[in-house]
Structure 1
Amino acid sequence: MTDRNSPITARQELARHWPIVLAAALGVGFGTMGIGFYSLGLFVKPLQAEFGWSRAAVSGAATFQQLGIFLSAPLVGRLADRIGLRPLAIASYIAMPLALVALSMAGPSVWGWYGLWLLVSLAGCGTTPAAWARMVSMRFDAARGLALGLMLVGTGLAAALVPALLGPIFAHDGWRTATLVMAGAAALVGIPLGLMQSREAPAPVMREKGGHFERNRPVFMLLAIAFLVGVIVAGLIIHLVPMLVDRGMDAGLAAKMAASIGLAVIAARVIVGWLFDRFHAPYVAAVFLAMPVGSCVLLGLGGPVLPAALMLGLAAGAEVDMLAFFTSRYAAMKNYGATYGVILGTFSLGAALGPMMVGYSVDATGGYGAALAGSGLGLGLVVVLIACLGPYRAQE
């Protein structure tokens, strides 16, 4: 007979709570950080052709998409602590598809284009890990890293499938039709997910005095890490397809190379999460965040594309999982929602600026060399900061 007071093993946690992980994976995959973010690169060439916008102008949509997460994530984290996930998810999976329908009718005003992407992001605020990660973290301890990684496999699937499935629709039916397909998919999957969530009150630990942003040295270091990773990884991912097309690669093949990022993201979510539960997580994260330095070198020197894309995908697979896990180890659980919301918002601010910064660099220099060099140096700083986070803090 099992002792009722004995610690629950990782396997027991997963056996008991796997439906929560599955729902969270689908939730974030069909949300604004899934199909929303990973479709942005597909808009660059069609909008350049239709409206004559520069590459920086088109990719500026990523800035406003991530700006919406930056603005909403801290509030979403607090609301998740107070009212639970269900009302946030239902509202967002109704509002975000409607915003995508509006996006499909965008006209020649670039500021209108930006405003619509901001609307999509704000409408989908309850689809982000700021809402879902709290629920997963509260249910898991021994298998928390793996559970968060499996949750974020949803975005990896989006990274793999969106370019491959939507790319042909963009090419043959146009970007407006492709956007309507995105809206339909988000509604058909997301609304039932929201309705299936429990009406239960927040977990007992969240009824303690809490719900505040945690202020300590590791958390402030996480803010710096989150910002830098957001700038660099988002900038490289959004510009990978146009970067490869500039090198003479066929657009269809470039989209397939971008899809390989998604496969690496999926693998990294699971591998990194599993390693986090067994080793000191900052050292694991430092190794994975050092990999895209190699991507920058290969892409800058005209080397093989597939290894560069895979290393970039492995880093992208570690980033948000890392931030969600580190928050649970360096902040009190009673402050998890509020603290992770601010950290995710900071990451999103970086991701908002990164693609536009790369776009302006390309427009100014005529190539991606400067952006790749700067990204490599920034990643070196990220690795140093992660390695210096120190031991986990005692949980409350």
Structure 2
Amino acid sequence: MDIATVIAARTRFFYGWWVVFATAGIIFLCGGTFFYGFGALFNPIVQEFGWSHAAISFAFSLRNEIGGVAAPVVGFLLDRIGARRLLVAGVLLVVIGFVLLSRMNSLWSFYGSVLVISAGMAATGSPVAATVVAHWFRRRRGRALGMLTVGAGVSGIMVLVLEHLISSFGWRSALVLVGLVQLAVALPLALSVRDRPQEMGLQPDGDDAPPSAVPAGQGETPAAGLTTAQAVRTPLFWRLSIAVALAQMGATAVIVHQIPFFTGGLGLSESAAAAFLAATTFVSLVGRVGFGSLTDYIGTRWVLGAAYGVQALGILLFALLEELWQVFLVLPLFAVGFGGGIPARPAFQAQYFGLRSFGSIQGLVITVATLGAVAGPVLAGAMYDWGESYRPAFLLLGAANLVAVPLVAAAGRPQGGG
């Protein structure tokens, strides 16, 4: 019996909430730092190497592409060996990648460093954490998933931290410092995670064990739901995958290009633009927690569809921004929709496909969705290089994002039972 099990047995605290906190912390330090902090690295890299916006944007798209390619493998490993080992390996890869990125001196070494970070992020990201949390909770799953995504939401502050570190020590030293913090904090958090409550003699939500429950250490009842093969044969699987791809195409483009858009298009300073990017992630907490909690009471298809609709409207309005005061109206709209879709998507999957093959099904959804996540930033960067404006790209991406709404809202009766 390990320390975590002893603590859970001797206190009234449900260990599932610690799992939420630990995985959220890992997302904050590993995934969120690069996802949001990339914007702070954009201009310093342009200034030092003179690379095009499209070339640098490709690195971010490469992160998404690797995440998509690795997603089925990660999903398979999740269902076979569990999340804890993946999280530990992922943290170590992210740390190594940040150190390598601090030493890069060419476009190819830049891409190579991002490849290593991307592999680590695939093993430490929200899909892995959501799989763990989905097993720890049933009645309060939506709320738990919403709280989980807070880790990624507050990680937006890392763009300010990186901005400050870059201005004080240079971007190379800043990356090394971030890597050391990840090693010291994220690794112990990964070691504390347990894949399922049954490993500690507990039940989802901390409920009392039913009379037929299998004692801890003697196996556990298989989770209900569809197999991977059954899921991919349903039209809903493909509608969900395409919807997520369209939503990610717009969201990633806005996140990556928000700082250069605000500095070049609206004339803001680097620090002011970074502050707005950080504000985007903090405002998204309203959507993450609010929409996540709503899925416990309202059909997940309506919640996910609403989130994608609000996000699409925000992207379309981004294209119309002309003055600073308008940012205070449009930015929260995009942020709330963006945040709301993050917990609503795994809640939708759990309701319609169940937990039996949650990791593997999620991996395949992400693989398809990666096409959009890869295309979005590159398309926006290429359209900027061509016309020196982000506005046409935001109009196109916002319109594409709108198509995601009916794809998920038209889902029929849930089949999974998770």
Contact 2:33 2:155 (8 Å CA) reproduced: yes
Distance 1:358 1:383, change over 3 A: same
The residue that corresponds to 2:122 in the other structure is 125
Distance 1:88 1:188 in 2: 17
Letter in 1 for 2:255: I
Of 124-133 and 71-80, deviating more is 124-133
Q: Does 1:146 align with 2:168?
A: no
Unpaired stretches in structure 2, ≥5 consecutive residues? 1-11, 200-216
> What is the match of residue 370 of structure 2?
348
Counterpart amino acid of residue 186 in structure 1: Q
Equivalent residue for 1:377, pick from 399, 404, 416 = 399
- Which of 316, 325, 328 lines up with 1:296 in the alignment? 316
Q: Which residue of 2 aligns with 1:204?
A: 221
Q: In 2 relative to 1, CA 100–258 (structure 1 residues): closer, same or farther, beyond 3 Å?
A: same
**Counterpart Cα distance in 1 of 2:63 and 2:136:** 30
How far 1:353 moved relative to its partner? Answer: 2.2
**In the alignment, what sits opposite 1:239?**
257
**TM-score (structure 2 length as normaliser):** 0.86
Equivalences for residues 25-40 of structure 1 within 5 A: 25-32=24-31, 34-40=32-38
Matched, 1:258 2:255: no
TM-fit CA distance, 1:211: 5.8
Q: Does 1:217 align with 2:235?
A: yes
Cα distance, 1:212 vs structure 2: 5.1
CA shift digits 1:143-195 (9 cap, x unpaired): 11111111111110112x11121111122322111211221222122110122
CA-to-aligned-CA distance 1:338-380 (integer Å, 9 cap, x gap): 0011112333342222111100011111101210110221122
* Alpha-carbon distance in 1 for matches of 2:258, 2:24: 25
Matches of residues 307-386 of structure 1 in structure 2 within 5 Å? Answer: 307-386=329-408
Q: Select 1:91's aligned residue among 84, 89, 93.
A: 89
Equivalenced residue count is 381
Structure 1 residues 38 and 14, CA gap change in structure 2 (3 angstroms): farther
Counterparts of 2:229 and 2:13, CA distance in 1: 29
* Aligned twin of 2:50: 52
CA distance in 1, matches of 2:220, 2:191: 19
Give the 3-state SS of the residue equivalent to 1:204 in structure 2: coil
Instruction: Decide whether the 8 Å contact of 1:214 with 1:335 is kept in 2.
Output: no
Q: Give the one of 283, 292, 297 matched to 1:278.
A: 297
Partner of 1:65: 63
Secondary structure of 2:356's aligned partner: helix
Secondary structure of residue in 2 paired with 1:124: helix
Q: Report the residue type matching 1:255 in the other structure.
A: A
Contact 2:316–2:399 (CA under 8 A) maintained in structure 1: no
The one-letter amino acid of 2:18's match is: P
Provide the C-alpha distance between the structure 2 equivalents of 1:395 and 1:183, rounded to a whole number of angstroms: 41
Q: 1 CA distance for matches of 2:403 and 2:193?
A: 40
**Measured at CA, do residues 334 and 235 of structure 1 come closer, stay the same or move farther in structure 2, by a change above 3 Å?**
same
Residue in structure 2 matched with residue 158 of structure 1 by the alignment: 155
The answer to whether structure 1 residue 176 and structure 2 residue 193 are counterparts is no
For the structure 1 residues 208 and 364, does the alpha-carbon distance in structure 2 shift closer, same or farther, using more than 3 Å as the test? closer
Q: Is the Cα contact below 8 Å between 1:328 and 1:336 reproduced in 2?
A: yes
Answer whether contact 2:99 2:179 (CA < 8 A) is retained: yes
Query: Contact 2:304/2:344 (CA < 8 Å) preserved in 1?
Result: yes
Q: Partners of 1:114 and 1:311 in 2: how far apart?
A: 33
**Do 1:331 and 1:395's aligned partners in 2 also have CA atoms closer than 8 Å?**
yes
SS at match of 2:357: helix
Distance 1:290 1:335 in 2: 29
Q: Residues 209-234 of structure 1, C-alpha deviation per residue, up to 9 Å, x if partnerless?
A: 95657221211111101111111100
Amino acid paired to 2:253: G
- State the Cα distance separating 1:203 from its structure 2 match: 5.3
Give the Cα separation in 1 of the matches to 2:346 and 2:167.
36
- Provide the identity percentage: 26
Partner of 2:213: none
Q: Which residue of 1 aligns with 2:288?
A: 269
SS across alignment from 2:267: coil
Bigger CA drift: 110-119 or 333-342? Answer: 110-119
Alpha-carbon distance in structure 1 between the residues aligned to 2:374 and 2:124: 18
1:72-87 counterparts in 2 under 5 A? 72-87=70-85
Distance in structure 2 (CA, Å) of the matches to 1:214 and 1:260 = 38
TM-fit CA distance, 1:295 = 4.2
Q: Secondary structure at the match of 2:175?
A: helix
What TM-score do you get using the length of structure 1 for normalisation? Answer: 0.90
Gaps of 5+ in 1: 1-12
Say what the alpha-carbon RMSD is for the aligned residues.
2.2
Q: Which moved more, 1:118-127 or 1:15-24?
A: 15-24
